[in-house]
Each structure stands twice: as C-alpha cells, then as structure tokens.
C-alpha cells in the first residue's frame, strides 16, 4: 500500500496556527473508519449515508494509491492534507450528530407550508 507510510516531508503548512500532520494517512484512516462505523448504523437508502460513504471511500482510495501526500492533496482537491483531516474530523462529528438526531425519520409534525420551497 503506497499511502500507508507516506511522510509529509514539509516543515510548515503556510497556514497560521496549523501544524504539519505527523502521520496523516494513519489519522485519516482512523477518522474514516470511525465515520464509516457511524454511517453503517443509518438506513442503507439514506442519502447522507450513501454520499458520505462514497466520498470517504474515494478519498481513502486516493490516499492509498498516491505516491506521496502532495499527489494525494492534488487528487483530493480540498487543500492541504491537514485541511482534509479537519474536514474528516468535522464529518465524524456531523455523522454522530445525525445518528443522535435520527434525521432520516419522518417529521414529528407536519412541516409548515412552503418550508421546502425556495425562493419564496
């Protein structure tokens, strides 16, 4: 697996307050695994689950098949790997929140008229 031992090899990110990730492939692997476990508890047909699983599997594949972090960053196209890690952390928080909210269940009461209409 090419991505498993990829070293970052940079001294700084160039982003104020953001440190270089020491082992980004491991960090992302852990975050992606936790998020996939949370998603697995949601209904199979739930759109958020399907789209997020696709995104995670795509990004994990890119990291696994990239020669180095720079290549992975370019292919993912969402900034530096440290920013991708932040996105993965936020996605995990969101997935766990959606599980708690059970957002796929029907509304408790009828939605107000025009709630889903845009623009009004």
Handedness of CA 82, 88, 89, 90 (dihedral sign): positive
Q: How would you class 106 by CB atoms within 10 Å of its CB: exposed for 0-12, middle for 13-18, buried for 19 or more?
A: exposed
Residue 63 has pLDDT above 50, yes or no: yes
Cα–Cα distance for residue pair 100/95, rounded to 1 Å: 9
pLDDT digit string (tens) for 70-115? Answer: 999 999 999 999 999 999 999 999 999 999 999 999 989 998 988 8
Query: Going by C-beta distance under 8 Å and a sequence separation of 6 or more, which residues neighbour residue 91?
Result: 31, 35, 52, 56
Percent of the chain at pLDDT above 70? 92
Q: Domain tally for the chain?
A: 1
Asked if residue 5 has pLDDT above 80, the reply is no
Residue 42 lies in a domain: yes
Residue 80 falls inside a structural domain: yes
pTM, full prediction:
0.84
Q: DSSP label at 46?
A: -
Distance CA 36, CA 54 (A): 10
pLDDT in tens, 42-55: 999 999 999 999 99
pLDDT, average across residues 35-62: 98
Domain range spanning residue 82?
Answer: 21-101
Is residue 41 situated within a structural domain?
A: yes
What letter does residue 116 receive in the DSSP assignment?
T
């Amino acid at each position: 697996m090419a991505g498993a031992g990829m070293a970052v090899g940079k001294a700084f990110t160039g982003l104020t307050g953001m440190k270089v990730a020491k082992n980004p492939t491991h960090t992302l692997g852990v975050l992606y695994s936790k998020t996939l476990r949370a998603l697995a508890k949601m209904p199979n047909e739930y759109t958020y689950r399907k789209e997020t699983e696709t995104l995670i599997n795509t990004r994990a594949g890119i990291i696994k098949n990239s020669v180095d972090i720079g290549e992975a960053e370019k292919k993912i196209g969402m900034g530096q790997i440290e920013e991708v890690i932040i996105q993965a952390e936020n996605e995990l928080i969101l997935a766990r929140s959606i599980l708690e909210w059970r957002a796929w269940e029907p509304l408790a009461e009828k939605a107000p008229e025009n709630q889903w209409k845009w623009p009004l």
